[in-house]
Amino acid sequence: MSRVHAPRGLAELLALRADLPGAALMAGGTDLVPRSRARGGLPEDVILLQDVPELHGITSGKGLLRIGAAATHAALLADPRVGRGLPVLARALACLASPAIRNMGSIGGNICTASPAGDTLPPLHVLEARVELAGREGVRELSLAEFILGPGRTALGPGEVLCAVLVPRPEGFSLQHFEKVGLRGAMAIAVVSLAAMLRLDGRGRVAEARLAWGSAGPAVVRCPAAEAALLGRRPTLSALRAAARHARAAVRPIDDLRASAAYRREVAGNLLLRLADLSSR
Ligand SMILES: Cc1cc2nc3c(=O)[nH]c(=O)nc-3n(C[C@H](O)[C@H](O)[C@H](O)COP(=O)(O)OP(=O)(O)OC[C@H]3O[C@@H](n4cnc5c(N)ncnc54)[C@H](O)[C@@H]3O)c2cc1C
């Protein structure tokens, strides 16, 4: 049986974190509970994040959205600043698990789980989001690439919590797209996913491309060579095929029960080809 602690504010949370270094933090519990059960049960102490107001809510200002780490996927989808303003993230949230899991699961939990298949991670990479970490020594910010060190591994320090995700408001990206390939239409863990943002110039040529793949390596894969291959070109099938060749060379997928590495590599490139249809609409 675990002892459950429910701090009412960030200061109380950080004090508990310092006093109970072995305690598990729990937001929605949709990752923590099944994973702990598989290992024989929850740790002796569990610290709930639900009642910490500093970890909730979305605020906008200074060109960015500050999303509280404990904000649920459903709350984010219901907020027009995410639902309409960040379509690449909204599309990923809409296909994450099921309505019940989206009502419980949080963006912070998805990030801290650091799964290669975490659905919010590729969109947050192309949005160039940063994470805000708080500890008793103060607050620090890291990029996602700095924060996620590998499957299940993050740069979260022993006394720290993830407080918020800082998302710069994207300017001028006419195409924002997320697509997940899974083994079924819903409740599917990504076999491969792609988040893409394209900014086009007045002549319809790519002025900036941001591409990130999930389930294609130990962490999200960005491919600067694929992005560069699109620059100055219209996003036609032939330009995207050239970018796809770079993507297939850059990804580092594994074989597992859901798919082979070879299949994932092929699909990682193919997902790019969809952008031709989308940008011609
Ligand atoms: C049936 C099912 C289907 C699922 N399908 C998907 C899917 O399609 N796509 C997908 O991406 N995920 C999926 N998941 C995984 C999970 O639902 C998500 O990753 C969810 O976002 C986790 O959020 P949570 O709040 O429940 O995290 P929790 O379980 O509460 O926490 C997860 C981990 O993060 C840590 N943590 C949480 N918040 C913080 C914080 N603020 N600071 C520091 N550490 C923190 C916890 O200590 C724990 O280690 C699924 C899970 C289930 C059970």
In the chain, the domains with their CATH numbers are 3-168 (3.30.465.10), 175-279 (3.30.390.50)
The DSSP 8-state label assigned to residue 72 in this structure reads B
Q: Sorting pLDDT into bands at 50, 70 and 90, what band is 199? A: very high
What is the pLDDT of the chain when averaged over all its residues?
96
Within 6 A (CB) of ligand 1 lie 24-32, 34, 49, 55, 69, 96-97, 101, 104-106, 108-110, 112-113, 118-119, 156, 161-162, 187, 189
Q: What percent of the chain has pLDDT over 70?
A: 100
pLDDT at 77: 97
Higher-pLDDT residue of 279, 183:
183
pLDDT at 60: 96
Q: What is the pLDDT of residues 251-278, one digit of tens each?
A: 999 999 999 999 999 999 999 999 998 8
What is the CA(39)–ligand 1 centre distance, in A?
16
Q: What angle do CA 99, 66, 23 make, to 5 degrees?
A: 70
Work out the pLDDT band at 244, boundaries 50, 70, 90: very high
The three-state DSSP-derived secondary structure of 184-246 is: CCCCCCCCEEEEEEEEECCCCCEEEEEEEEECCCCCCEECHHHHHHHECCCCCHHHHHHHHHH
Q: Which of 10, 30, 215 to mutate to test the pocket of ligand 1 (most atoms within 8 A of CB)?
A: 30
Q: How do the residues of the chain divide into helix, strand and coil, expressed in percent and rounded to 5?
A: 35, 25, 40
Q: What is the pLDDT of residues 154-164, one digit of tens each?
A: 999 999 999 99
pLDDT reading at 245 higher than 90:
yes
Residues 96-122 pLDDT 10s? 999 999 999 999 999 999 999 999 999
Whole-number Å distance, alpha carbon 217 to ligand 1 midpoint, is: 19
pLDDT at residue 172, rounded to an integer? 95
- Atom of ligand 1 lying closest to residue 180 CA: 8
Asked if residue 280 has pLDDT above 80, the reply is no
Task: Please tell me the residue having the least CA distance from ligand 1 atom 47.
Answer: 25
Ligand 1: centre distance to CA 34 (Å): 10
Q: Is the pTM for the entire model greater than 0.85?
A: yes
Token pair recorded at residue 141? 């910010």
CA of 30 to the centre of ligand 1 (A): 5
- Encoding tokens for residue 275? 């952008």
* Other residues' Cβ atoms within 10 Å of the Cβ of residue 78: 10
**Which numbered atom of ligand 1 lies nearest the CA of 101?**
17
pLDDT band at 186 (very low <50, low <70, confident <90, very high): confident
- What pLDDT does residue 71 have? 98
Say if residue 281's pLDDT is above 80.
no
Sheet hosting strand 45-48, strand order edge to edge: 3-5, 45-48, 24-26
pLDDT exceeds cutoff 90 at 86: yes
CA 45 to chain CA mean position, Å: 27
Tokens 């796809």 correspond to: 244
CA distance 277 to 279: 6
Q: What is the pLDDT, as a whole number, of residue 55? A: 98
Q: Whose CA is nearest to atom 31 of ligand 1?
A: 109
Whether the CB-CB separation of 123 and 178 falls below 8 Å is answered with: yes
pLDDT band at 170 (very low <50, low <70, confident <90, very high): very high
Tens digits of per-residue pLDDT, 133-144? 999 999 999 999
CA–CA separation, 73 and 92 (whole Å): 10
The pLDDT of residue 195: 98
Query: pLDDT tens digits for 46-78?
Result: 999 999 999 999 999 989 999 999 999 999 999
Q: Look at residues 142, 157, 132 and name the one whose alpha carbon lies nearest to residue 66.
A: 132
**pLDDT above 80: residue 222:** yes
Q: How far is the CA of 208 from the centre of ligand 1 (A)?
A: 32
Q: How far is CA 161 from CA 17, 70, 229, 274, in A?
A: 8, 11, 39, 38
**Which is more confident, 20 or 188?**
20
